[in-house]
Amino acid sequence: MMFNIETLAGVVGIILAGAIGYHVLLSAPVNGPPLVKGYFPFLGVGLTFAFDTEKYLERCRRKFGTIFDLYLGGQNLIILSDPIAGIQSLFKTRAVSLIGFVIYIDKTVFAYSDAIANVDYLEGVAKTFVNRLTNTERLQQINNWTTNVFRDLTGQRSEYWNFKDQEINLFDFTRWTLYISTMEGLFGPEFPAKETFDSYMNFEDNIFKFIRKYPPFMNWKGYTGRKRYLNAISDFFMDQKKVANSSMFVQAMYEYFVEHGFKAREDFGGYFFSITVAAESNALPGAFWLLAHVVADTKLKAKVEEILIKHYDPETQFYDLHAIVAEPLIHSCFSECLRLYANALSGRLVQKDITLSVVQKPSESPHNVIVREGSQLLVFQNMIHWDEEVFPYPRTFIAERFLEENKEVLIKHTDKTDNWKSFYPWGGGGHTCPGRHLARYEAVLLLSILGQYDIVAVDESVPQPSVGVRYSSGVCKPETPYRVKMSRRDKCLGS
Ligand code: HEM
């Protein structure tokens, strides 16, 4: 086929004119959220959004209010940050789907097989996950196994036992001990936890590059880590004896797959890979921040040590971690860590037109906003958790912030008649994080290390969280190492 240069230029010109015309005509639908479409056809506000997400969202919120529609890459992303009515209204709506929103990531990042990457099937899997994990016996088994491995890893036979003022990076310590113990807690003693540590962490450290679609040559470590980890977890599920030694919860999920006819290596690999990421990538840094802030503040550390002593159980020669989770100060500290660092989002694909009741500016009353089918709706937690209107000194860690006596002092709008709800670390609605009880338990398990070892900060302050291009990709990691000195106590606290 022959094209001369004039014909080609004509065709390109018509396409460009069409794209520009379409862009100019793009406008917010009647009763829809304000549209922010940028200057570029198709790309829309994509570049600014991708490279300066946090500041850009804040600028838009100041200009348009708590709901606006970003046009980027030919898609509509509706950003919602209204703590008074909008978010609560979204989490009650049934016509939105989390699976529809994440399925692309499931396929491209976690390598879900084509067979299981089906919205209806995965909705069933998500429900089964919640159902199987809200069983006390199953949860208890995971907690017990995790605790036993953790105690073993940090006990008499461990490298830490002879530590006396030994300098370590607390984040490395957290990752190593909690990764091994939680993986064995879920998948049992035959899972190659130690062997997969490096591959998994290489993947996790670069996960934002997968989400931002970096080509493999710019994300070599991430791709290699993913390949090795996927191979290991897929092999594991091909060995029925090993699966039979995993937790009752993992076995129940395995059986659900088999009952629905999914038995292939890649069906298990992709799914359980994503479960590893859901379980590890948030819970480990969450636990780290708790311990780091306690270690950084000698008065707080002394109070936490008192709590450990109070809950020492001579029979098990360990701490009653459930009682410690429920201690108001521990609850407050961990909530504050999540508020400051959880940095996640709830995303939903809108399945049919919905009407949300939204307070666009705090001084206004709620009004109805229509969100069209096919839009993606996003609630960025930071937009709520770092809002000065609710949390005075929003970027400062205040251990006591969530104590009852600090309502209306360090958290505003807590009065029931106010209707504000400004704390969503676990997301919301039917997809509220099913792993939240495990995550709280793990954080306190890590904290219990203070019973056996004295840990003293070397660095003056807790590191800054790594946000920037990682904005909204889950609980932040520390930007720099956090150096501490670790010494084993002659006898553990409370004994
Ligand atoms: C500090 C730790 C954690 C945080 C901050 C966290 C946060 C979240 C958030 C924000 C969501 C999305 C909810 C929504 O879309 O509204 C979520 C979903 C989920 N989380 Fe967690 N999570 C944590 C730990 C865990 C753990 C330990 C597990 C695992 C075993 C887990 C398993 C899941 C799963 C399976 C989902 C998807 C739920 C669904 O499809 O309905 N998470 N988590």
Distance CA(454)–CA(304), nearest Å, equals 12
Instruction: Name all residues whose Cβ lies below 6 A of ligand 1.
Output: 98, 126, 129, 278-279, 282-283, 286, 338, 342, 344, 346, 425-428, 431, 433-435, 438-439, 475
Q: How many helices (H) and strands (E) are present in the chain, helices listed first?
A: 20, 13
Ligand 1 center–CA 282 separation, angstroms: 8
* pLDDT the model gives residue 18: 60
Ligand 1 center–CA 435 separation, angstroms: 6
Q: Atom 21 of ligand 1 has which residue's CA nearest to it? A: 433
* pLDDT the model gives residue 331: 98
Q: Residues 277-302: pLDDT tens digits?
A: 999 999 999 999 999 999 999 999 99
Helix or strand holding residue 79 (H, E): strand 75-80
* pLDDT the model gives residue 228: 98
Contact 489, 453 (CB under 8 A): yes
Q: Give every CB contact of residue 51 below 8 A, 6+ residues apart in sequence.
A: 469
Mutation choice for ligand 1 from 184, 376, 433, CB with most ligand atoms inside 8 A = 433
Which residues in the chain show pLDDT less than 70?
A: 1-3, 11-12, 14-28
DSSP 149-185: HHHHHHSTTSTTTT-SSEEEEHHHHHHHHHHHHHHHH
Contact 276, 196 (CB under 8 A): no
Ligand 1 center–CA 442 separation, angstroms: 14
Could you tell me how many residues make up the chain?
Answer: 495
* pLDDT the model gives residue 355: 96
Ligand 1 center–CA 400 separation, angstroms: 25
Contact 242, 190 (CB under 8 A): yes
Amino acid at 181: S
